[in-house]
Amino acid sequence: MKEAMALRLPWIMEKCLKLLSLKKNNPIAPILLQKAVDLLRAGELVAFPTETVYGLGADATNDRAVAKIFATKGRPQFNPLIVHVDSVAMAQRYAVWNAWAEALALAFCPAPLTMILPKLPDSAISHLCCAGGDTVGIRIPNHKDARELIRRSGLPLAAPSANRSGRISPTSAQDVWEELGDSIPLILDGGNCQIGIESTVIDVSGKVPCILRHGFITQSQIEAVLQQPLAKPVLVEGEYKSPGLLTSHYAPTLPLRLNVTHCEANEGLLAFGTPVVKGAGVMLNLSESSNLQEAAAHLFGYLRKLDANPQLKGISVMPIPQEGIGMAINDRLQRAATR
Ligand code: TXA
Ligand code: MG
């Protein structure tokens, strides 16, 4: 505790650093990375950029630090957290590595891919992080600053998306500031996230690998590498194995209508490709050229923008093709539309 206090800067300096770090800053200055390392080692929370969305990071081996993540986000403790590491060697310190993990790591990592693996019996990862279960979600982010933060701190970082539970994931430091600015000591600014949608979660801890959350790395890419079809996620005692499959999630405040063919003047339209739907008060186009990767990168930011517009009573979305990363986009939209 004494150590933690000694590392804390006076309140006003903390605020200044936080604001300083909100300037566009890519790559992140070493002084800020060092400040983040000090905070993480002292059991504090730090928001940091990844290629998918911003994470709310804590030392995954420190129960109290992990508990702060749940409290800050208002996240139910039955929903486990992803552990971010900088290498396969680091992953192997905490999880039972198997042939599927090896093949996926060789093909993709570092990547927007989270692998659910059996936890090593003597793993130092906090039980809270794994929601008391015997598996751990491991990800090696494809973002230099994120990996540098892990390398410098020497810590595996538990990091959910840096938003309040159930809300839209943040894809810029400004988004994190709006979500959690008052409750965390530092936000590292790495600019806008390149991918903009959370990692694919693949469970390789059971008999047949199975996707628990769609993302940038698609089912067919994974099946090609593993040379086998994936299983469908199943309900266990009325609940999915991954609570991240909860139906209502990523929710804007305004109601969302999907696959629209018409729009009211008090609705904001999220268009895709040629905006054939007319009549909306405001329109934002996820990708004029119908590029699904571009659409994914814009999705959460545009949802946030429309949600914050006081003129609007709802958000409507044009159909998005159910292929490749379009599956991940539709997954997020469907859950955002569920109340
Ligand atoms: O791209 C991402 O994955 C981002 C960045 C920050 O890395 N993180 C993220 O974390 O989206 P979060 O907490 O918002 O989503 C993690 C998902 C949840 O659906 C959770 O239920 C699932 O992963 N998960 C984590 N550990 C698991 C485990 N041991 N078993 C099953 N599902 C797990
Ligand atoms: Mg999340």
pLDDT the model gives residue 18: 53
Mutate to test the pocket of ligand 1, among 241, 242, 245, 335 (most ligand atoms within 8 A of CB): 242
* Residue 251 pLDDT level (bands cut at 50, 70, 90): confident
Q: How confident is the model at residue 3 (pLDDT cuts 50, 70, 90)?
A: very low
Per-residue confidence (pLDDT) for residue 82, from 0 to 100:
98
**pLDDT, tens digit (0-9, with 9 covering 90-100), for 54-73:** 999 999 999 999 999 999 99
Q: How far is the centre of ligand 1, averaged over its atoms, from the C-alpha of 289 (Å)? A: 31
pLDDT value at 112 more than 50: yes
Return the domain boundaries, the chain.
2-226, 256-337
Ligand 1 shell residues, CB under 6 Å = 50, 52-53, 55, 79-82, 112, 114, 116, 130, 133, 135-137, 139, 159-161, 198-199, 201, 212-213, 241-244
pLDDT-derived band at 15, boundaries 50, 70, 90: low
**Greater confidence, 11 or 308?**
308
Q: Which two tokens stand for residue 223?
A: 């099946």
**Which ligand has its closest atom nearest to the C-alpha of 198?**
1
Tens of pLDDT, residues 142-162: 999 999 999 999 999 999 999
Average pLDDT taken over every residue of the chain: 90
User: Stretch 80-92: mean pLDDT, rounded?
Assistant: 98
How far does Cα 33 stand from its chain's mean position? 20
Pick the CATH number of 256-337 from 3.40.50.11030, 3.40.50.2000, 3.30.1650.10, 3.40.50.300: 3.40.50.11030
Q: Indicate the CATH number for domain 2-226.
A: 3.90.870.10
**Ligand 1 mean position, distance from CA 236 (Å):** 18
**Cα–Cα distance list, 178 to 12, 17, 159, 167 (Å):** 19, 17, 18, 12
Nearest ligand, measured from the Cα of 242: 1
Q: How far is the CA of 274 from the centre of ligand 2 (A)?
A: 30
Percent of the chain residues topping a pLDDT of 70: 87
**H or E stretch at 257:** strand 256-257
| Matching fold, domains 2-226 and 256-337 | no
The distance in angstroms from the start CA to the end CA of the chain is: 42
Q: How many angstroms separate the alpha carbon of residue 244 from the centre of ligand 1?
A: 7
